[in-house]
Amino acid sequence: MHLPLFRWMGLWLLACGVLAACAPHGASLPNDAYVWQRQWTPALVQAVQSEGQSVRAWRVLAAEMDVQGQWRVFTPDWRALADSGKPVVAVVRIEGQLRQWNEAALLADVQTVLGRWRQQGIAFAGIELDHDAGTARLPAYTHFLQVLRPSLQAGERLSLTALPTWLESADLDGLLAQADESVLQVHAVQSPRAGLFDAGKARAWMQDFAHHTRKPWRVALPAYGTRVSWDTQGRVSAIESERPTLSRDDDTSELFADPRAMQQFVSTLESDVPPGLIGIVWFRLPTSDDARAWSAASWQAVLGRIALRASLVARAEPASDAGRYDVRLVNEGDADLSLPSLVRVDGSCVLADGINGYTLQRGTAGLYLQRSRTGTLRAGQALLVGWLRCPAPPSLRVET
């Protein structure tokens, strides 16, 4: 039996709604951005004003409870958020290793945040809970969401972040059912030795996660780098990310979400969208004083789906005294790049040395500056890595 065309279309639309499996292929997923800074500096206000053209909504850190159960509330620049005209989600971070789960006290604290944020003249869209709990706490977390939901008003959405480690828990489906939407975090969820982001694992987690929820969901992707230090026992001793710590350990690694790799991942993702995925949440909004977030150029290109241009050159610049040249790496493109492993020197230089993470080496092919520690050179920036004393201007070659 042949049904009329309009009836076929109706059945197809109904199937899409029931299965949440008809996400657009080849369409650009909307971008949200986490604003995770605890202090609203002029640079952060400027970033909200200037870097939000490709952002659908802000997810702003509103309060956090530490491992001891201490509650801290943060005050954003309400005017900047209101002037952006974008929906604003208040994010409450609850330390995953919180020693005592006091549901009544936590409920009262979150309700206070809700009441405060509703009064600020912003496009308040709801609240997100960020609780990196162990799987043993998921039943208690589920119950908390149940008692919190009546506190939300019409039009306000309840969101929560989710971890790949929860995928093996029988309690995950029940937890996700309590929220209006969820955000799967696929970066910085493994040991630092495994890196900041693994595209293959991220895609597998996303496919698995799609089978656990019938609600809309987003994926959190990294737009930053972090430096991790280990002690002599191989344990993490310091992490420098949005909150730098002082560490003198020599055993350090620079973990970096390469904008080009993330752009490729997003392109692949948008060509085959997992069921129910409705957007990306980027961590975190970059500012001019945030040395570990992407540059504005990389941020704008990745979120705007504009092809990145990578261009890293080494220059020998004449110094003030005759015969001496400063060796400077310059990122002329709009892609933040890892520092190159070598800068080769072609010329009859008699003296030289490296600085800022580069050391002088001599090989059969001549002098070269070798990277002694990893790092990133943001788009538009330059880094002095050594000096040369030569009778004639030398030529330099970068090797990645």
Task: List Cα–Cα distances, 313 to 263, 337, 353, 373, 388, in angstroms.
Answer: 22, 11, 19, 19, 17
Residue 25 banded pLDDT, cuts 50, 70, 90: low
Q: How far from chain centre, in Å, is Cα 27?
A: 22
User: Which of 13-22, 166-175, 272-281, 389-398 shows the lowest per-residue confidence on average (mean pLDDT)?
Assistant: 13-22
Residue 253 banded pLDDT, cuts 50, 70, 90: low
Inform me whether the pLDDT recorded for 123 exceeds 60.
yes
User: Which of 102-106, 250-254, 257-261, 336-340 shows the lowest per-residue confidence on average (mean pLDDT)?
Assistant: 250-254
Give the Cα separation of 79 and 81 in Å (integer): 5
Task: List Cα–Cα distances, 71 to 38, 95, 97, 104, 117, in angstroms.
Answer: 13, 10, 14, 14, 17
* 325-381 pLDDT tens trace: 999 999 999 999 999 999 999 988 999 999 999 999 998 888 999 999 888 999 999
Higher pLDDT among residues 236 and 383, named by residue? 383
CB 75 within 8 A of CB 35: no
CB-based contacts of 301, cutoff 8 Å, min separation 6: 259, 263, 307, 308, 334, 335
Helix (H/G/I), strand (E/B), else coil: 165 = helix
Give the Cα separation of 195 and 192 in Å (integer): 5
CB-based contacts of 65, cutoff 8 Å, min separation 6: 71, 72, 92, 93, 94, 95, 98, 106, 109
CB-based contacts of 250, cutoff 8 Å, min separation 6: none
CB 223 within 8 A of CB 302: yes
* 154-165 pLDDT tens trace: 999 999 999 999
Helix (H/G/I), strand (E/B), else coil: 73 = strand
Helix (H), strand (E), coil (C) string for 252-272: EEEEECCHHHHHHHHHHHHHC
Average pLDDT score over the chain: 89
Q: In this structure, is the dihedral angle defined by the CA atoms of residues 283, 285, 290 and 293, taken in order, positive or negative?
A: positive
Q: What's the distance, Cα to Cα, between the start and end of the chain in Å?
A: 64
* 334-348 pLDDT tens trace: 999 999 999 999 988
pLDDT reported for residue 240: 52
